Amino acid sequence: MLLPATVRPFETDQYNLPTTPLADIGDEVSEYVEQNLRAAVDEINADIRRHQACLTVVSRRSDCHSPEKETTELTELRSNDAVAKALYERLGDGTMLVTKFGGWFRGHKFKAQPATYYTSFKDSIYIALPTDYWTISPTIKMYGVEFGTDKLEHLFQQGYRYYKIERGEAAITIVPGRSVKKAVKWGQNSERTFYGFFVSGVYSNADLAANFAGMRFYQRLTSPVKIGETTEQPLLSLKEGVWQFNTANLRDELLKPFLSDHLNEALNPSVYAFNLYPVVKSVVQNHSCAEWHKAYPNLSRSILEQKTNDLELWHGEDYGNSQKERMVRIADTCF
């Protein structure tokens, strides 16, 4: 019951467009993620070699355990779970206030500028709820997609939670798709409560999309993952008992397949609380619409409606999108 008092929900505002075109920081962020993945793999491989040596009579050390235990340790280290956990601990671990990745992002000086955009409080959709603005995440651009930085923290943190739930359920069920549905259900419940609506008055479909993309991100580390009509091959595989990378172009393949307009809260709108909805709609009508007409003179209501409709599924998969009455759609609000 006391938990909501300590939680800082991180909201975002893509209705207000950047006043200056944002630089694309996709490569810089991916470089950091790549560094952490390579470091995690190096640590796991070092552990594999250490346990493997313990199974060799001539290499046994005082810290070695029984052959059975050493074999069990090797099996775990050679699993996707070991790689996913090691990367999560470097990126998604932390607190409900900030992940390790979030801490790095806030302190990093990007070469490409402007890297972020904060809307002013007076123009913000959260002008009636200062606590939401206090925790607002800046808008960034990665691989041509604009979204709030909180979506990356969702991807690395809640995405791993989805991954664990899905793996746990998959181990005990034979019903196709049941394990993914269980992970999605957890996300919907958390978005209705301590990660969203209960605290901030916002049920973010984009947050749920980021969670789902994060699950697929962790799965894809060592297993093929289908995204729409494309099957993304695993980034790692076991060769001679240790993990090796399958691609020389790792940086371009790490995050790009998982970033899409699903993460943009203007194109993939949220459901707002009764007291917040009319304020958000009024701000968008009186301020944001003019920005959209100026920035995108060729947009039409039908194009935007189709875009939002397409984002109800994540490349054909149900990620928990909720279509409720209290949504502010650019299509019918501005066009």
Task: Return the closest-CA partner of residue 263 out of 129, 125, 155, 112.
Answer: 155
Q: How many domains does the chain have?
A: 1
3-state helix vs strand vs coil in the chain, percent to 5:
50, 10, 40
Nearest to 270 by CA among 322, 200, 215, 235: 322
More confident of the two residues 308 and 131:
308
Token digits of residue 293: 């007409």
Region 71-91: mean pLDDT is 97
pLDDT at 4: 37
Taking only the tens place, the pLDDT of each residue in 183-221 is: 999 999 988 887 767 777 889 999 999 999 999 999 999
- Judge contact between 82 and 76, C-beta under 8 A: yes
Please tell me the predicted confidence (pLDDT) of residue 59: 59
Q: What distance in Å separates the CA atoms of residue 216 and residue 118, rounded to the nearest whole number?
A: 29
Residue-number span of the structural domain to which 310 is assigned: 3-334
Task: Determine the Cα–Cα distance for residues 44 and 71; give it in Å rounded to an integer.
Answer: 15
**Section 230-254 average pLDDT:** 95
How confident is the model at residue 60, as a pLDDT? 62
Mean pLDDT of 75-89: 97
> Number of H helices and number of E strands within the chain?
15, 8
pLDDT range class, residue 132, cuts 50, 70, 90:
confident
CA distance 329 to 308: 8
% of residues, the chain, pLDDT over 70: 95
User: What is the average per-residue pLDDT within 225-236?
Assistant: 96
Q: Kindly state the percentage of the chain with pLDDT values over 90.
A: 80
Query: pLDDT at residue 125 above 60?
Result: yes
**Torsion angle, CA of 215/216/222/224, rounded to 10 degrees?**
150
306 CB contacts (<8 Å, ≥6 apart)? none
Concatenate the DSSP letters of all residues of 205-221 into one string: HHHHHHHHHHHHHHHTT
In the predicted structure, residue 2 carries a pLDDT above the cut 70: no
What was the pLDDT predicted at 195? 72
- Phi, then psi, of 94 in degrees rounded to 5: 145, -135
pLDDT-derived band at 110, boundaries 50, 70, 90: very high
- CA distances to 16, 192, 292, 308, 325 from 277, rounded to whole Å, are 16, 16, 20, 18, 10
pLDDT at 88: 98
| d(C-alpha 228, C-alpha 230), whole Å | 6
Give 58's pLDDT tier (boundaries 50, 70, 90).
Answer: low
Q: How confident is the model at residue 96 (pLDDT cuts 50, 70, 90)?
A: low
> Which residues touch 237 (CB under 8 Å, ≥6 apart)?
222, 243, 244, 246
Q: What is the pLDDT of residue 11?
A: 83
Q: Evaluate if residue 63 carries a pLDDT over 90.
A: no
Name the H helices within the chain.
26-54, 67-77, 80-91, 100-107, 130-134, 150-156, 158-170, 178-192, 197-200, 205-219, 250-254, 277-283, 289-295, 301-310, 330-334
Kindly report, residue by residue over 15-48, the tens digit of the pLDDT. Answer: 999 999 999 999 999 999 999 999 999 999 999 9
Which two structure tokens, joined as six digits, stand for 161?
A: 């939670």
pLDDT one-digit tens code per residue, 6-18: 344 478 999 999 9
Q: How far is CA 42 from the centre of its chain?
A: 24
Q: What is the mean pLDDT of the chain?
A: 92
Asked whether residue 72 carries a pLDDT value surpassing 90, the answer given is yes
User: Cβ atoms within 10 A of the Cβ of 157, count?
Assistant: 26
Average pLDDT, integer, range 323-330: 91
What residues are paired with 142 via a beta bridge?
145
pTM check: above 0.85: yes
